[in-house]
């Protein structure tokens, strides 16, 4: 059952409730701009990632305040492994820090945490901590936070296709019965509603291999703001933009 969303006001605009369809159930964010934020201040890239992690905390607070049901954050793409070893090590260290120091707090707030992506690439120690976070929060009934780690949309679709092909080869599924719902059930986000809106910060206008299947009918919002500067006002701006969109899903206007 959808959670009720509180009415909120920013400036002269008022954000509605989930019942009238003006507030999304699921927001997904491509958190971009940490490196440019650091460079503009003459700081190392890791400082941008640390500031970006603080922006995540602000985003979560705003999302919970509005009663959002699902929030997905693109935290580490499959392409990020191509970055320098020092930066990758910094990102992994930051992930480990937040797993050890923030998960208990989120658990206390009834947030359910899920990870999607090829998380095995982070190694057994980090994988164990990821699994512990999922187990600890599995029965929480508040907002669901999905963190996309070592995630790539094309790879996800390929893996789903392989799984369906193997099932058909074993005679477990009739190829003619495969439809969009069946494919969705074999994605990493199975059981999670598709995002209503996908946001990218930093002024870039690309999906960058993020939720390619799931974004088919998502509203796209692009913000010029660099991710470390993201705050509650930014989140309310997203909700206001979404509330003004006319979502017809291919149907003609009434």
Question: Where in the sequence numbering do the catalytic residues fall?
Answer: 32, 80
Does 155 carry a binding-site annotation? no
Distance CA 93, CA 193 (A): 31
Does 209 carry a binding-site annotation? no
Does 49 carry a binding-site annotation? yes
Does 96 carry a binding-site annotation? no
Q: Which of 117, 153, 143, 148 is nearest to 235 (CA)?
A: 143
Does 35 carry a binding-site annotation? yes
Does 208 carry a binding-site annotation? yes
Does 45 carry a binding-site annotation? yes
Structure-token pair, residue 96: 């480990």
Phi (first) and psi of residue 148, to 5 degrees: -85, 110
Give CB contacts under 8 A, 24+ apart, made by 227-230.
227/31, 227/32, 227/33, 227/34, 227/37, 227/52, 227/55, 227/201, 227/202, 228/33, 228/34, 228/37, 228/48, 228/51, 228/52, 228/54, 228/55, 229/37, 229/55, 230/31, 230/55, 230/58, 230/59, 230/201
Does 171 carry a binding-site annotation? no
Does 83 carry a binding-site annotation? yes
Does 78 carry a binding-site annotation? yes
Distance CA 105, CA 108 (A): 5
Extract the annotated binding site for substrate. 33-37, 45, 49, 77-79, 81, 83, 200, 206-208
Extract the annotated binding site for Mg(2+). 32, 219
Extract the annotated binding site. 32-37, 45, 49, 77-79, 81, 83, 200, 206-208, 219
């Amino acid at each position: 059952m959808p959670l009720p969303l509180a009415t909120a006001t920013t400036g002269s605009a008022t954000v509605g409730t989930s019942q009238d369809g003006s507030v999304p159930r699921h927001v997904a964010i491509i958190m971009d701009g940490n490196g440019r934020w650091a460079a503009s201040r003459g700081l190392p890239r890791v400082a941008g990632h640390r500031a970006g992690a603080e922006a995540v905390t602000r985003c979560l607070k705003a999302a919970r305040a509005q009663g959002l049901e699902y929030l997905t954050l693109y935290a580490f793409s499959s392409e990020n492994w191509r970055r320098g070893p020092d930066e990758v090590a910094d990102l992994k260290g930051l992930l480990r820090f937040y797993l050890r120091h923030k998960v208990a707090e989120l658990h206390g707030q009834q947030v359910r945490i899920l990870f999607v992506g090829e998380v095995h690439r982070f190694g057994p120690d980090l994988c164990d901590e990821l699994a512990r976070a999922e187990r600890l929060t599995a029965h929480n009934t508040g907002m669901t936070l999905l963190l996309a780690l070592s995630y790539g949309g094309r790879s996800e679709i390929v893996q789903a296709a392989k799984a369906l092909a193997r099932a058909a080869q074993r005679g477990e599924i009739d190829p003619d019965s495969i439809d969009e719902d069946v494919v969705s059930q074999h994605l990493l986000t199975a059981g999670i509603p598709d995002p209503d809106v996908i946001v990218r910060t930093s002024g870039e206008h690309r999906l960058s291999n993020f939720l390619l299947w799931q974004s088919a009918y998502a509203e796209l919002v692009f913000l010029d703001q660099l991710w470390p500067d993201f705050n509650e006002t930014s989140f309310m701006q997203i909700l206001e933009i979404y509330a003004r969109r006319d979502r017809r899903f291919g149907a003609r206007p009434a």
